[in-house]
With several copies, the nearest count.
Chain A
């Protein structure tokens, strides 16, 4: 079965408290040199049947209407290799 990955991240202009909390903690843990951290979601979908353009278009629609909240989030869809 093929795997399609949908990554959902907050839009750049939206506050990301989770990423900020991680970033602020890093120096205390001894990790320097990370200028910014953003935290998002990763969905791994196991797709039955061929992952052709039609299937990807459907997953794109699914991401747009359901997996991501496009008021505040962006997403990308890609086939996992």
Chain B
């Protein structure tokens, strides 16, 4: 069949095109025709269809995400904000840090190992594209029920994939989450975060400027990976005898990515890069249109020069291919030779595929014939925007009035003790070390803290000890009960985790995992959660620097719990001052910071003991979180505390058990006046942390809390080899350890 050139398209306006199969709506197709003043060519149609997909265009979420900009707090630290591959934050001493979370949910369900592996690969390239050396990764994960047979397929594969890829890249994995809930059975969430470090002058942006500059594609050869629906198009416009099967699954090559990282950093060092973009979703379509759209001129690409792994690929398929481990750079003509030399040094294939033009169009040629002629902005940045209808679901009221505080509580100390063991050994509350032990947390030699600490902490300057801390959190149960509050709780928890290690929270990234935006109930959850998060960030003074949205996480009519995952990045001037979570010195005093109320809605206790989800989540007071954070940071800086652990799901008893196990020391707790033992142990009130204070610092510490108005209650002492709640029960540490650590290996090893 003939090549569908621009000329041919103009001459054959009535040719039927498979826009619907490619996921475009009728009005979207009409809009493309209007933009171009003719029907699109096959290649153009392919580009618009992927770039206008929900995944690339954010068409359902955009109107809500705007708040992150509109409500952004004044903040001098933000060097690059939303809209680039990742946001960049000034952390002082001329260092800048970039970080971002992304999702690879669906691919990880289809092929857990490769889906998760390429999820790591993708987010690492985003960070690299900013000019930064990637220095750490994290992996917030959600799976179906822990004892469901399919979870046995998905979890080990995902964990091996994250480890397989990240370990091979030499990136320490410093934290993440593992949560089980039947709502994720057919839609596991595999979110991946990467942190990168650079000097201020090294920041790079994704834009193509400077007429005559060359466009260089480098990295892996292009194959038929992840093309999916576009093969439909290839078979319509091309000889249908070509290989019909195009894999929807991409296979990662971490070795190639490691070379790409070192090669790219060397290119940056020699100042050979004008603009740069990673190739991820939508491959070359995305990279060329985004580079051209953000730059000043146009771009001309000779598509037939792209190195291929499979010679039968059609131009449409080449444009769409999601082959991993590729980057695209804009390079001054005089620097191309040196650029190619460095690529050769690293065994990385590099090819000049085009150049920046002084026009305003993105023009793509195939063996000399023009197959694309579009205004790049219309592809990359001016896609459709939907104001999807949203409405509070009818069931929300009933859910909220099903109060968890009315659930039957343990009646005897015996029962209380049994429930403590039951909660800390439940899959969600149990130790995840069987999983995290499969990740390298030491590589690069800068890891100060890693899981199970409250946040991961990386040293970024050896001389001064400057470091950054990152935590990620999200609680789908809370968010289901109240999306607005749930998002704020996720933010609060992540913020608290960073502060607990002594770092000052600076900025936010997020991954918003929801069901179908075409369901008004889900859309309401999304609207509420984004509003909550944007308001919360304004109140805390921490701007959103970027993130990712993953929609359509649902099976049939049933959506996952709305799951905004919030990542907080903090800075610490000297990592020597970090606060670990371990209770390691006998005799130190334990203080509970914050107020404990009767708040059991969405709690771990309600899930584990009663399989219940109802009522309202704990109240959030962000001023209080801020105050708590200040206290934790000052106490760390001034050496007033030796350990800190934030309180979240599972409540106080969970936190104390974890800190005891980490330090190998027991604790004697006393239920404070005005609280019953059950509420003391299991309530999930926000804004709390437990700290270990050396006796010599007690006065100074309590004076500081008093002066600043933060409730600090002495609840016990580090002591012995058991976890005792005086007057109620005692648990030998060995029994606590067995309960906490045996669960996950028993399920998955």
Contacts of A21 in B (CB 8 A): 255
Q: Are B249 and A13 in contact (CB under 8 A)?
A: no
For the complex formed, measure the closest distance between the CB of B78 and the CB atoms of chain A, giving whole angstroms: 38
Q: Are A17 and B255 in contact (CB under 8 A)?
A: yes
Q: Are B249 and A72 in contact (CB under 8 A)?
A: yes
**Cβ of B253 < 8 Å from any Cβ of A?**
yes
Q: Are A13 and B255 in contact (CB under 8 A)?
A: no
| Segment 222-259 of B: residues with Cβ below 8 Å from A | 223-225, 243, 245-247, 249-253, 255-256
Q: How far is the CA of A17 from the CA of B258 in the complex (A)?
A: 13
**Cβ of A9 < 8 Å from any Cβ of B?**
no
Q: Are A24 and B347 in contact (CB under 8 A)?
A: yes
Q: Are B111 and A72 in contact (CB under 8 A)?
A: yes
Contacts of B111 in A (CB 8 A): 69, 71-72
**Cβ of B220 < 8 Å from any Cβ of A?**
yes
Q: Which one of A10, A15, A69, A72 lies within 8 Å of B309 (CB-CB)?
A: A15
Q: Are A13 and B310 in contact (CB under 8 A)?
A: yes
**Cβ of B30 < 8 Å from any Cβ of A?**
no
Closest B residue to A11 using CB positions:
B247
Q: Are B251 and A13 in contact (CB under 8 A)?
A: no
A11, A69, A72: most-surrounded residue (chain B CB, <10 A): A72
Q: Are A17 and B253 in contact (CB under 8 A)?
A: yes
Q: How far is the CA of A11 from the CA of B256 in the complex (A)?
A: 20
Q: Which one of A11, A15, A24, A72 lies within 8 Å of B253 (CB-CB)?
A: A15
Closest A residue to B254 using CB positions:
A17
Contacts of A15 in B (CB 8 A): 220, 223, 225, 250-251, 253, 309, 323-324
**Cβ of B497 < 8 Å from any Cβ of A?**
no
Given contact pairs A21-B255, A72-B251, A13 touches B110 in the complex (Cβ within 8 A)? no
Contacts of B246 in A (CB 8 A): 13
Count of chain B residues with Cβ under 8 Å from any Cβ of A?
Answer: 23
**Cβ of A34 < 8 Å from any Cβ of B?**
no
Contacts of A20 in B (CB 8 A): 253
**A9-31 near B? 1/0 per residue, CB < 8 Å:** 01101111100110010000000
Q: How far is the CA of A71 from the CA of B309 in the complex (A)?
A: 19
Contacts of B428 in A (CB 8 A): none
**Cβ of B314 < 8 Å from any Cβ of A?**
no
Contacts of A17 in B (CB 8 A): 251-253, 255-256
Closest A residue to B220 using CB positions:
A15
**B198-236 near A? 1/0 per residue, CB < 8 Å:** 000000000000000000000010011100000000000
For the complex formed, measure the closest distance between the CB of A6 and the CB atoms of chain B, giving whole angstroms: 20
Q: How far is the CA of A17 from the CA of B255 in the complex (A)?
A: 8
Contacts of B224 in A (CB 8 A): 13
Q: How far is the CA of A17 from the CA of B253 in the complex (A)?
A: 6
Closest B residue to A72 using CB positions:
B249
Given contact pairs A13-B245, A14-B247, A15-B309, A72 touches B114 in the complex (Cβ within 8 A)? yes
Q: How far is the CA of A72 from the CA of B253 in the complex (A)?
A: 15
Q: How far is the CA of A21 from the CA of B259 in the complex (A)?
A: 13
| Segment 8-66 of B: residues with Cβ below 8 Å from A | none
Contacts of B252 in A (CB 8 A): 17
| Segment 15-57 of A: residues with Cβ below 8 Å from B | 15-17, 20-21, 24
Contacts of B223 in A (CB 8 A): 13, 15
Q: How far is the CA of A64 from the CA of B114 in the complex (A)?
A: 19
Contacts of B114 in A (CB 8 A): 72
Closest B residue to A21 using CB positions:
B255
Q: Are A13 and B247 in contact (CB under 8 A)?
A: yes
Q: How far is the CA of A72 from the CA of B250 in the complex (A)?
A: 9
Q: How far is the CA of A17 from the CA of B256 in the complex (A)?
A: 8
Closest B residue to A24 using CB positions:
B347
For the complex formed, measure the closest distance between the CB of A61 and the CB atoms of chain B, giving whole angstroms: 17
Q: How far is the CA of A11 from the CA of B224 in the complex (A)?
A: 12
Q: How far is the CA of A15 from the CA of B249 in the complex (A)?
A: 10
Q: How far is the CA of A15 from the CA of B251 in the complex (A)?
A: 6
Closest B residue to A15 using CB positions:
B251
For the complex formed, measure the closest distance between the CB of B235 and the CB atoms of chain A, giving whole angstroms: 15
Contacts of A24 in B (CB 8 A): 347
Q: How far is the CA of A15 from the CA of B256 in the complex (A)?
A: 12
Q: How far is the CA of A13 from the CA of B243 in the complex (A)?
A: 9
Q: How far is the CA of A13 from the CA of B244 in the complex (A)?
A: 11
Q: How far is the CA of A66 from the CA of B245 in the complex (A)?
A: 22
Q: How far is the CA of A72 from the CA of B118 in the complex (A)?
A: 14
Contacts of A72 in B (CB 8 A): 111, 114, 247, 249, 251
A17, A24, A69: most-surrounded residue (chain B CB, <10 A): A17
Q: How far is the CA of A25 from the CA of B681 in the complex (A)?
A: 41
Contacts of B347 in A (CB 8 A): 24
Contacts of A69 in B (CB 8 A): 111
Q: How far is the CA of A77 from the CA of B747 in the complex (A)?
A: 32
For the complex formed, measure the closest distance between the CB of A80 and the CB atoms of chain B, giving whole angstroms: 21
Contacts of B225 in A (CB 8 A): 14-15
For the complex formed, measure the closest distance between the CB of B318 and the CB atoms of chain A, giving whole angstroms: 14
For the complex formed, measure the closest distance between the CB of A7 and the CB atoms of chain B, giving whole angstroms: 19
A10, A13, A14, A69: most-surrounded residue (chain B CB, <10 A): A13
For the complex formed, measure the closest distance between the CB of B229 and the CB atoms of chain A, giving whole angstroms: 16
For the complex formed, measure the closest distance between the CB of A8 and the CB atoms of chain B, giving whole angstroms: 14
When A and B form their complex, which 10 residue pairs have the shortest distance between CB atoms, in order from nearest?
A17-B253, A15-B251, A13-B224, A71-B111, A13-B247, A14-B251, A71-B249, A14-B247, A72-B249, A15-B223
28 A-B contacts (beta carbon < 8 Å)? A11-B245, A13-B224, A13-B243, A13-B245, A13-B246, A13-B247, A14-B225, A15-B220, A15-B223, A15-B225, A15-B250, A15-B251, A15-B309, A15-B323, A16-B251, A17-B251, A17-B252, A17-B253, A17-B256, A20-B253, A21-B255, A24-B347, A71-B111, A71-B249, A72-B111, A72-B247, A72-B249, A72-B251
Chain A interface (Cβ < 8 Å from any Cβ of B): 10-11, 13-17, 20-21, 24, 69, 71-72
User: What 15 new A-B contacts, CB under 8 Å, besides A13-B223, A15-B225, A15-B323?
Assistant: A10-B251, A11-B247, A13-B247, A13-B310, A14-B225, A14-B247, A14-B249, A14-B251, A17-B256, A21-B255, A69-B111, A71-B110, A71-B249, A72-B114, A72-B249
